Chain A
Amino acid sequence: MNSIKHEMRRRKIKEFGSSVYHNKTALVGTIVLSFFVIVAIFGPMIIPFSTLDFGNPEDMLQAPNGEHWLGTDDMGRDILANLISGARVSLLIGFLATLISMGIGTLIGISSGYFGKAIDNILMRLTDFFLVIPWLPLMMVLAAILGTSIWNIIFVIGITSWAGTARVVRAQTLSVKERQFVERTVSLGSGSFHIMSKHILPNVFPLIFANTVLIAAAAILSETTLSFLGLGDPTRASWGMMLHYAFESGAASANAYWYYLPPGICVVLVVLSFALMGYAFDEIMNPKFKER
């Protein structure tokens, strides 16, 4: 029986892989993102991070050359090494913040839709609050109060970005819980937790997944914004932190394009790849859009 199960699973994965391959949008997004993930994971093996140490005064703000492919910053550090170590921090924050955001959004969305009445009202007013509150000032205040460490940044982004997900998940839960199979499970005597986790969650999952990818893009952008404003973790420089230092040292007016362009381009590429994947996955997973 298990072999059948595994065979089915293998076939499903293969099928999914082939639809990703044939969907150009998904393919481009996946390739770009995989590239950055690989770079982030194997970063230190590609370029020794010792080049992150402060360099000699004569190495300051060098244009790209043979020794430093992307030039150096105002403290004589290699930009490429900075970029690779920044990829780690940016992606880590992006993924973990997304995880928190999806967790909260799904939990609140499903409980709100499933229980209804007072619980729904309380949870949705809370969601409305997070939905309408200007998120940037809120994040800044939170980050300033909690202090600058990447764990705080992750927490702050996660806690401020779940409202949209909660709304969407609630709407879908309202529709799923009225379906007859839920009634059947109730008559079987399953408890609320069982129904929510075993019956409703799998039914709203495609929605959550498509949302996750888009939230991840937003999380990385938020992180860049916070760091650029100087609320990032100074000990673990992300791309946003690089932009912050570049701005502070007047790289733009000094015409040191090699300092501020690479982190900016990287952020745009990662966010774009997430967005591409998000739309493409929606297309692949939603049978309504399936081309025959």
Chain B
Amino acid sequence: MKLLEVKNLKTYFNISSGQVKAVDDVSFDLDYGESLGLVGESGCGKTTSALSIVQLLPKEGKIYGGEILLEGVNLAELNDGEMQKYRWNDISLVFQGAMNALNPVMRIGDQIAEAIVLHQKVSMKEALIKAGDILELVEMPRDRLMNYPHEFSGGMKQRVMIAMALACDPKIIIGDEPTTALDVMVQAQILNLIEKLRKEFNMGFILITHDLSILTETCDKIAIMYAGKIVEIAESEELFKKPVHPYTNKLIGCFPDMNGERKLKEGIEGAPPNMLELPSGCLFAPRCEFASDICHQSMPETVEVGPNHYVACHKWEEMINGQ
């Protein structure tokens, strides 16, 4: 049995001007000790997919269909109280901005211990001891439990956030852009740390980012999202060497090559579609240079083009042969 299987997940937002299909028919799976990267432009549904898994959607959002199987248990069917048992004990989150996700007037020890006390039947004292152990796990000295958030640097705060995610020995950690707002050196340290811990505890890890460059090093699998759908999913190396979907191609093309020519990258023409008025047919068609009539008329099926390599594009055969 896989650790996590997401099947045909549909999460829609009902807002005053209509219904937004933020996540539409998304499927992926994750094994023990495996890491998956979710990449895409802003607003393509990366964060919403993650929040759907832990059911922490804003009140406008609702899961309309699909299954989220955690070791065979369908989380999508649980109510909030039942979900509470799985959150943090099995799936935890590393929040986006560590600077803001820590309470400025509480010692970080108390904040980590809070996570433990709320999920496990332990006393505050035991929880503090455990918090100390976890702090050492993220390579920080134990006595810093007594410090307040303002006494830490940005990278250290992010380590505290990771410590907090580890507090209840989860099976899956979801990192929602855990390294944005950090400089490149610290970013590398944080990612290495997560990598190390993941291997040590055989945890699943879902990394949400818009930075493709950090994914190849950290993730076994990469899923490319566009306008609420996964357009291509493959193992990282395969995806970088043999991208099939035109969008993936463009996205990879946007990152400068160390040995290549020194010039500005071309970028992708146009903008993501208005989520309230989605085009019929392939969602990427209006921006796609290979688009033909069929692309504008019908939604492409997801096809397996290689081992564990799935693409949703009408032109996949041409794309592979064209390379």
Contact = CB atoms under 8 A, between A and B. Distances in A.
Interface string B82-116: 00100110000101110011111110000000110
Given A4-B146, A189-B87, A180 B119 contact: no
A180 B98 CA distance: 9
12 contacts: A1-B146, A4-B143, A4-B146, A8-B146, A179-B100, A184-B95, A187-B56, A188-B119, A189-B84, A198-B114, A199-B103, A205-B105
Contact of B95 (A180, A194, A202, A205): A180
A180 B100 contact: yes
Interface residues on A, range: 20 to 34
Nearest to A4: B146
Pick the most buried of B87, B93, B106: most chain A CB atoms within 10 A of its CB: B106
A189 B84 CA distance: 6
B285 interface: no
Contact of A198 (B104, B106, B132): B106
Pick the most buried of A1, A179, A190, A194: most chain B CB atoms within 10 A of its CB: A1
A5 interface: yes
A181 interface: yes
A199 B111 CA distance: 10
A189 B119 contact: yes
Given A1-B145, A180-B97, A187-B54, A202 B106 contact: yes
Interface residues on B, range: 20 to 34
B143 A188 contact: no
A203 interface: yes
A185 interface: yes
Contact of B115 (A188, A198, A202, A203): A188
Nearest to A191: B118
A202 B106 CA distance: 8
Pick the most buried of B115, B143, B145: most chain A CB atoms within 10 A of its CB: B115
A203 B104 contact: yes
A202 B105 contact: yes
Given A188-B87, A202-B105, A203-B105, 16 more contacts: A1-B128, A5-B146, A179-B100, A181-B100, A181-B101, A181-B102, A181-B103, A184-B95, A184-B164, A186-B56, A187-B54, A190-B114, A190-B118, A199-B103, A202-B106, A203-B104
B97 A189 contact: no
A290 to B, nearest CB: 14
Nearest to A190: B118
Pick the most buried of A183, A188, A194, A202: most chain B CB atoms within 10 A of its CB: A188
A187 B118 contact: no
Nearest to B102: A181
**Interchain residue pairs A-B with the least CB separation, the first 9:** A180-B100, A202-B105, A181-B103, A180-B101, A189-B84, A184-B101, A4-B146, A187-B56, A188-B115
B88 A189 contact: yes
Interface in A60-98: none
B143 A199 contact: no
A8 B109 CA distance: 14
A123 B88 CA distance: 35
A1 B103 CA distance: 21
Contacts of B84: 189
Contacts of B54: 187
Contacts of B114: 185, 188, 190, 198
